Structure 1
Amino acid sequence: MRRETKLIHQISGCGETGAISTPIYQTSTFVQDAPGVNRGYDYARSNNPTRAALESLIAELEGGSNGYAFASGLAAVDAVVKLLSAGDHIVAVDDIYGGSYRSFTHIYEKLGIEVSYVDTSDPVNVAEAIRENTKLVWLESPTNPTLKVSDISAICEIAHRRNALVVVDNTFASPILQRPIEFGADIIIHSATKYLAGHSDVIAGLVVTKTPELGEQIKFVQNATGGILGPFDSWLTIRGIETADLRVRKQSESALKIARWLQSQPEVDIVNYPGLVTHPNHEVAKKQQEAFGGVISFSLVDDTQDAAIEFVTKTELFQLAESLGGVKSLLCHPATMTHKSTPREHRLQAGIHESTVRLSVGIEAAEDLIEDLQNTFVSLQKSEPCLEKA
């Protein structure tokens, strides 16, 4: 069965009533037949039929053994890091999501977990950073927001030789475009808020494990710490996943058109998009991904926060907001928004410039989105002639 068909028919609704939509089991507890004897469910923190349906669906889509749904993407991150102990070490991608960086720096390092940040687009950097106490190699591919791509297969070989697990945050690609377990990854994380749910109406996180043994460990953390996804939000995420193939492929197609157009604009300095042949990791992305996703980032010739902030506040169809992956196009200024908690020196080293703008391309007509950007550049030219390339 092809993947787009599985999206629709992996979950069958309710056989007892004929309901074609997955039922929402909005209950906190379940009646037991006798003490300790139940019908598969006893308390909704431990399990819930709606959440279980979502967890089964994401495991199937990613080709993993088990899936687990959490209250947010960061709750999913938290559950994975809780597999570690004080004294353990993580090798993490340098261009990491700001929320993950904040958690690593201000929470886990305080608890004795060490983190080293490297440019994982070169596997050699990963090999050199792994220590005897390294337990996890933490990838985002593509990264947020500079769209670096890491060779997952090569890094898995390196990490596994050193007895480290590989975690891939697959939020930007989604299982529609990339399935890291097929390349050797051990754990996959999603902020399902983004492309999977896809309508900017739910906060959710997902974890998929390669093996049942890892799954049991994540399940223990999920039940013990309680950061679960509720039944209604699970249902919203299922509903979003059913249309993910249509949305993500449309967004990827439009993003490629917009990225190519941005390259021709005199106000633009750097365009980051894996689908461009000029992208340094383009060939790796072609190997790993079926398309290149709906996120683009670019920097202005006038590499100042003021120039970027003026730009992001003048667009009309691209609306200024946190998040990405929804049906409506969004944009943000990472340095003052998504990556504000990341120190400026670290941001610059990772390639996040003062003027970097991140676009999340929705499902609007690409031509209308390009016109919106063009109108914004025209407006900037009138007020800031210095934005044009010499």
Structure 2
Amino acid sequence: MINSNGFRKWYPICLNKEQNEILLQIYNVDFVIVCVGRFSGLPNIPEFPPKKGPEAFDSKVIHSMEYAAMDHKQAAEFVKGKRVIVVGFQKSALDIAMECSAANGKENPCTVLYRRAHWNVPDYLPWGFSLAHMYLSRFSELMVHKPGEGLLLSLLATILAPLRYAYSKFVESDIKKKLRLEKHGMVPTHSFLKEISSCLISTVPEKFYDKVENGEIKLKKAPSFSFCNNGILVEGETSPIEADLVILATGFKGEKMLKHIFMSQTFQDYITGSPDAALPLYRECIQPRIPKLAVIGFSESISNIFTSEMRCRWVAELLDGTFKLPSIKDMEKNIKEWDEYLKQYSGGYYRRKCIGALHIWYNDQLCKDMAWKPRRKKGFFAELFEPYGPMDYVSN
């Protein structure tokens, strides 16, 4: 835990097994870097009305975190012969459904319960075009209104709006065709740009929809559901989906985990911010009113490892005195600009903190802070049209 006296004490707590007592260790520090991420530790369990949650189910309910902790053999034996319902439609849910189908086939098909469809991409199929060139270049970012942009960039984003729309429709058409989404009733109602701006894109396992077609996996849309003694009851239906095991691939409560490292309620309120805004972190690292704390790994991007390393470099340069943080007012202004961007392009997922569609623009800000040159390519056309990735930032 961290106390409220300006980050001078860090409290790890451990249990002395021999004496059966809790030991408290105190470390004096000048700066704290929190690297807890957001996809581990505290599972997100949906809330249910009384007597309609997992406690009403006569069989077992686990979170995907528990399933992931098993080795492959254990997991296969755990689901073997069971009627399994997987709740969710992101990467973990799709992978678990595939493993369940491999263990049980058509005899006990796995049901995937999802709230809404997503533009997941088939990375095992030839695209015929480069998704990176379309969405991870400076030219692609010119089509999007950016936090803190000037008048010229704002005009360009407005003028290029039809091209932005065409990009999205082209990619959507290709995904629909390759995955046969219309046949399965899985065409999302939102745009591909919103998907990438929310960092909700994941890859579809090979032959996933083949297994849907042959009956090994069943897809069931459920905006709302509850538990009953023998399975799950989808809102509006009278008969439950019977099951022996329910696996909740419903993500993690990263914000809550971050919040509860603090003893101070004031600091807890600072780090979580307003309910109608994304987590208030300057450069996705620093809470302006807790400047002696850096958070690494919370905000997402096209590659979380790559992005986290850039932030680690930024924090290292900050601690080395290469630059100083702006005033609280200026940092909060920048955070508000990013929040407005997220609300414009990611819809209801703005609290996820994603820089997926503006990773170059974001890295430019980090580079300028660290006195690195932001433009990393050789030549005008390479700079404008080639995608940016980790190798572009190997050196300063």
| Same fold (TM > 0.5) | no
Larger radius of gyration: 2
TM-score (normalised: structure 2)? 0.28
